[in-house]
Chain A
Amino acid sequence: MDSLSAATAESFRLLFSGDTALWIIIFTSFSVSVKAILIAAPLAFVVAFTMAHLHYPGRRAMVAGFSALQSIPAVVVGLTVYLVLSRSGPLGDLKLLFTHTSMVIGQVLLSLPLLVALGHAAFQAADRRVWETSITLGATPGRAFLTLVHEVRFGLTAALIAGFGRIIAEVGCSMMVGGNILGYTRNIPTAIALETTKGEFAQAIALGMVLLALALLLNGMLAFFQGRGVMTS
């Protein structure tokens, strides 16, 4: 019990004393996840829009497929990316394994199904008159799409927050494709896993507190935006 109290006290000291190693880990986590969500979101929302508003063969299968892929384990995504990027893999020559880029690729793939599924729900709930009004007033399809995005922005923001929450806390994929290299690819979840196995609880608790605070913040924002989405639909 004493050691736990001491570790907790030490974790606060680490957090508030500006410990460089700790803050590099936090920065790496946010940097990789923000890049991943910024890449995944536009692609996911365009796919979600086409699934919600266009009729083409295979659309239903796509909806079902993305819905099923939401629950894909992070380690499976990690394994796939690892096999593709490893030296003997099809993209091995790019030498991307154990870099930020490989972590971003893994997190893009991990967040994409969730963003598509939640984006699809948001676009499907949108009033058909939004698109028709934009078009009849002379907007191009691209402009009408942006107008639709604006009208369902609360639902899409909720999707972004849920997607970010999914990737910032995942261990399996980052561990496999990032390699957990200190000061380079070590992020919050992989650092917590490593420090815990080493019995170094102070840093693990400090990073856990960061993740916990982030989870509370994201959930609060999610509840707010989902509420706004319902109110405005």
Chain B
Amino acid sequence: MKEILRYNGLRKSVQGRPVLAIESLEIRERSCVALSGRNGAGKSTLMRIIAGLETPDSATIRFEGQALSWRRACRRMHGQVIYLHQNPYLFDCSVSENIAYGLRRRGLSLREISSRVSEALDWAGIGHLQLRNAHDLSGGERARVAFARARILSPRILLLDEPTANMDSESRSQAYRMIKQLKDDGVSIMIATHEFHTIAHLCDDHLSLESGVLNLQPIEKDSGERKIIPYGREV
């Protein structure tokens, strides 16, 4: 699988305390990677850096094979590398307007936007909610709107920060179905999670973040034995 994004020598400290010290991290085309770690291990910080929302202390970046400065990488990534918060924020307007938000920034015609929004509403099964204010939706409905809003932009990479936290089982199943469909559409996905076993069926790789270092965990669902391989180094 072709590499889309690569970070080398990624370092990040928060108030003088080192949080991330990652030798190398690559996200490949059509891959789905789980990112696990304890609370405060730096999962969200890493995802926010990958999305260009937080600045690392140091890192070299290659996006689609091209070495880029941090500023240029951010400009290239926004809209193509989409980060979904644990509780995605929906703007104080209708569901349709929320979904159209990113498209409006791309200078498409109103007709094109309208047809794509209709398609996204159908995809997420929220056509009946299109005129509702997004702030009036339930947690599960909000997640579906957020997925549709991201998918409509055809992102290269989707970063999901504990996407099923605080969801009931039905909403969880819907979320897993949507993640699977996004993966089938060719979107590379990284999912931060505390419960790897619940998303193991979706993932190609499992990275765990411990003391700021990424370790590749082979996906051996039933062996009960964990072999930890430092990620990004020749082993």
Q: Which residues in A have some Cβ–Cβ distance to B below 8 Å?
A: 127, 129-130, 132-140, 143, 147, 150-151, 232
Contacts and interface: CB of A to CB of B under 8 A. Distances in A.
B77 to A, nearest CB: 9
A138 B153 contact: yes
Give the dominant DSSP class at A's interface: helix
Interface in B62-109: 78-83, 85, 87-89, 91-93, 101-102, 105-106
Contact of A132 (B83, B105, B149): B83
Contacts, number: 59
Contacts of A129: 85, 87-89
B110 interface: no
B51 interface: yes
A136 B83 contact: yes
A133 B48 CA distance: 11
Nearest to B101: A137
Contacts of B105: 137-140, 143
A6 B132 CA distance: 57
Contacts of A134: 101
Interface of B: 48, 51-53, 78-83, 85, 87-89, 91-93, 101-102, 105-106, 135, 149-150, 153
B85 A133 contact: yes
Contacts of B85: 129, 132-133
Contacts of A143: 105
B91 A151 contact: yes
Given A133-B89, A143-B105, A150-B91, 7 more contacts: A130-B91, A132-B83, A135-B78, A136-B52, A137-B79, A138-B105, A151-B91
Contacts of A150: 91-93
Given A136-B82, A138-B102, A143-B105, A127 B89 contact: yes
Given A138-B78, A138-B153, A133 B51 contact: no
The 9 residue pairs across chains A and B that have the minimum distance between CB atoms: A138-B79, A129-B89, A137-B102, A133-B89, A136-B83, A138-B105, A132-B53, A138-B102, A136-B82
